[in-house]
Structure 1
Amino acid sequence: MKRSAAATTVAAAALVLLGATGASAHVTVTPDTTEAGSYAVLTVSVPHGCGDSATTAVAIAIPESIPAVTPTVNPGWEISTVLETLDPPVDDGHGGRFTERVAQVVYTAESPLPADHRDAMELSVRLPDTPGETLAFPVVQTCEEGEAPWVQLAADGQDPDELEYPASVVTLTAAADDASVTADAEPEAGTAEGEPVAGAPATGDDGATAGPPAVVPWVALALGAAGLALGGLALARTRRTS
């Protein structure tokens, strides 16, 4: 009887865990960087179909503040774009102007993606220049039967996890100040300021190299190992001839 009760408890816990995992398996858009003004690669992950139905198309809406998108070729999918006119045109950062932008990128499956398989698409974009700006990426997943509209946005104060079909949201961050980081960096451990780093060639007052550079430790180790191997080979030959 105790064994039966324990098995029931474990099974119930497993069902709860599976339910939580299934609920969190959304179509997501994830950037490799969130730094404002930087170029980023957006990964659009499609973890499953619409219930038991295979995926036939994935349409990604692009925020208005992103004027240009470069989709990555994905084997097994055809790519198309939906354009909209920009009025007024937008500076492209290279002396030209964008007169239209990509409002949506659509990946259409050459053969339906099975419901229990996953895939991912990548888009290259230049992020807007404003730290703190929030970008929403609604995605509509079309299947052989029905669709999953991942387009819902949380209201102020609402928990996004409460949404059935949440859209991915990205908040831009400030770029790191590389100059200040370099200026504040401390000297390497074991060296004083102005003292040459171990392994670097010494130089005279005129800047000329005073001697050959030290051998990089792993190169010296490799040369030593080669010497041992040659020594062993010579010893083996000596034994065979004696």
Structure 2
Amino acid sequence: MAEAPRLSVVIPVFNEQDNLEPLLAELTPVLDRLGLPWEVLFVNDASTDASAQVLARLAAAEPRVRIVTHRLNSGESAGQASGFRAARGELVLTMDADLQNDPADIPRYLTALGTGVHCVCGYRADRQEGWLRRFASRTANRFRAAITGDRLRDAGCTYRLIRRQALADIPVFNGMHRFLPTLITAQGGTVTEIPINDRARRFGVSKYGINNRLWRGLVDCFGVRWYQRRALRFDRVADT
């Protein structure tokens, strides 16, 4: 019987057929060197390209790969939520399927997840994007900080390592993935950041732009501010 995983890597997928095989090829040796049992959960968000076929082939060749499939395209927040629900590891790593997140950074995430830390967020010190996207991100981060008090350097980066304990009571909504560290902090968790390597996209096209990311995120800040004032702390019951 296979050993239960300690680390679950959750990767939402929408039309990333050309990135999946090279991503797993990079991930596997990095994860093997960690010395702890792992699994990779690809969440296929109703892709319309050949992503489903590629994932099926990868899962058949590697038993530590699992596939979760959405019948309807529901977005990155739904992809992460489905992955969290299916994950078996006590630690959950979220990353994108577009090869822009560097698997070589994973050991540094684990090092940063020290005692008392519930979430480690990456920030892209040298972003491989155009000036308009960088400007939009800076604007959104400043607005977000003003409304929620969140001081993350790179709130848009979804490359994170999280203790599953901190995910148990996280509310699921469209846009949740953008505010996950803020939601964890509101429940009493501790969040830290590390610089990571950001890489340019090699295959496919980005699914997110100014219109479907910036404006919605700014509006969501007010809902998250409300939640910060109402959230229950997750460390409520002590073992006896």
**TM-score bin (small chain):** under 0.3
Larger Cα Rg: Structure 1 or Structure 2? 1
Structure scoring higher RCO (CA < 8 A, sep ≥ 6) equals: 2
TM norm structure 1: 0.25
Higher helix proportion, which one? Answer: 2
Higher strand proportion, which one? Answer: 1
